[in-house]
Amino acid sequence: MTTTVLTKEDIDWGNLGFDYKPTTYRFVATYKDGAWSEGELITSQTVQVHEGSTSLHYGQQCFEGMKAQTAKDGRVLLFRPELNAERMRQSCERLSMAEVPEELFLRGVKEAVRANYSFIPPYGSGAALYIRPMLLGTGENLGLRPAPEYEFRVFVSPVGPYYKGTGLSLIKLAVTDYDRAAPSGTGAVKVGGNYAGGFIATKIAKELGANEALYLDAATRTYLEEAGSANIVISLSGNRLITPLSPAILPSITRRSVMQIAKDELGMETEERPIHFVNEFSEFEEMGACGTAAVISPVQAILHKNEWMYMKNSREGVGPVMQKLYNALTQIQKGERTDPFGWTVEVEL
Ligand code: PLP
Ligand code: COI
């Protein structure tokens, strides 16, 4: 373990985008002959794997996305990290990979954050330290079978907002002709193969004037699923908040938290259910795209079949429901108020 140096890098924290910025250390553990190594901090940004690795050929890899934030009193906070550990376990199960034990996952995350203390954006900067735990199938291989070895790695990078703009800015989404995930495919786990296929949809969405692609269900193209990097929540009249129920979307930790805040703190009636996009759209008051990177990004409009469809309460600006949810969530994440749910976990420095 390294000794934490309590100084900060000379970085223009307020102008960071969502880009890779090299930091000093990453945590790496390897799985070989049926056992995990203890894991260690290293400095190399490069992964060395066998040319036959399943992660390179057959997409046998998975990852997670989390953030560490500095609280006003200087504490460094993670947000529900045990849920990321559990989701990576589910990804491992789905892709027949060696599972990363929760203890190893959490230790790797905390060590990578602690060792890169100087890169954790200060309180009030609007930036956060993005954490990318990843698991790769490695080792000599050719045929279609799970890897004999694995590398678990956690790297971090200071980041600003995912979508251009600062704080809460309205975004637009576009439905393209591409599907993200099949009902019994891998959509519900966080694996690289779910993303490469979406690059073209994102490119088209951007060319059409949107920030990102929005996906409908692959089987019928009628029900709402999720955006390329975020789940969807929708407010309806009568203090209701709904979110799509589907076996093909990633179970977002941000979404689960937002739904609970809506129910327990805003007294909203919440429901996870199939949402028919065209038939129900006229009822949508506000929509939010939620995820670690996206936080809650209010959605102003959706392009569908060449027509821009606007949310009732977001034409002029950010609507009140998304604003309240954003405030409640980010205040908990940044330790600005008491954490009634016990969601934040402090990284001891
Ligand atoms: N959906 C997809 C496809 C994602 O990549 C992400 C980001 O992780 C999310 C949803 C949001 O999940 P979470 O809130 O756990 O970050
Ligand atoms: C996240 O929100 O953590 C993501 O992984 C989204 C995207 C950058 C893939």
Ligand 2 pocket residue status of 121, Cβ below 6 Å? no
Instruction: Tell me the mean pLDDT in the region 224-243.
Output: 98
- Side chain identity at residue 5, one-letter code: V
- Asked if residue 230 has its Cβ within 6 Å of ligand 1, the reply is yes
Please state the atom number of ligand 2 nearest to the C-alpha of residue 63.
Answer: 5
Whether the per-residue pLDDT at 36 is higher than 90: the answer is: yes
The per-residue pLDDT for 165 is: 66
pLDDT number for residue 292? 97
Burial 302-320 (b: 16+ CB within 10 A, else e): bbbeeeebebbbbeeebbe
Mean pLDDT of 260-272: 98
**pLDDT at residue 174 is higher than 60:** yes
Task: Work out the burial of residue 27: count CB atoms within 10 Å of its CB; fewer than 13 is exposed, 13-18 middle, 19 or more buried.
Answer: buried
List residues bridging with 13 in a β-sheet: none
Identify the band that residue 41 occupies on the pLDDT scale cut at 50, 70 and 90: very high
Distance CA 24, CA 13 (A): 17
Q: Per residue in 43-82, pLDDT tens?
A: 999 999 999 999 999 999 999 999 999 999 999 999 999 9
Q: Which long-range contacts (CB under 8 A, 24 or more apart) does 195-203 make?
A: 195/228, 198/228, 200/176, 201/176, 201/228, 202/228
Report which of 153, 151, 140, 39 is spatially closest to residue 97, judged by C-alpha positions.
151
> Which helix (H) or strand (E) segment is 140 a member of?
none
Q: Could you give the CA distance from residue 76 to residue 256 in angstroms, rounded to a whole number?
A: 22
Q: Is 194 in the pocket of ligand 2 (CB under 6 A)?
A: no
Q: Which ligand is in closest contact with the Cα of 252?
A: 1
pLDDT at 173: 98
Q: What is the pLDDT of residue 117?
A: 97
Cβ-based neighbours of 243, under 8 Å, separated by 6 or more: 231, 232, 233, 234, 255, 259, 270, 271, 272, 275
Alpha helices in 48-101, H assignment, sequence order: 54-57, 81-94
Q: Rounded CA gap, 130 and 134, in Å?
A: 13
| Residue 225 to residue 246: CA distance in whole angstroms | 7
**Candidates 229, 253, 295, 297: which one to mutate for ligand 2, based on the most atoms within 8 Å of Cβ?**
229
The pLDDT tens digits for 85-122 are 999 999 999 999 999 999 999 999 999 999 999 999 99
Q: What is the pLDDT of residue 169?
A: 84
Inter-CA distances, 220 with 135, 178, 265, 283, Å: 33, 13, 35, 21
Beta strands in the chain (DSSP E): 26-32, 35-36, 40-42, 61-63, 66-70, 76-79, 128-138, 149-159, 171-175, 212-216, 224-227, 231-236, 240-244, 269-273, 286-291, 295-304, 307-310, 344-346
H/E element, 116: none
**Model pTM score:** 0.97
Q: What is the mean pLDDT of the chain?
A: 96
Q: Which ligand is nearest to the CA of 161?
A: 2
Give the residue numbers annotated as catalytic, written as ranges. Answer: 190
Contact 281, 271 (CB under 8 A): no
Distance from the alpha carbon of residue 348 to the mean position of ligand 2, in angstroms: 25
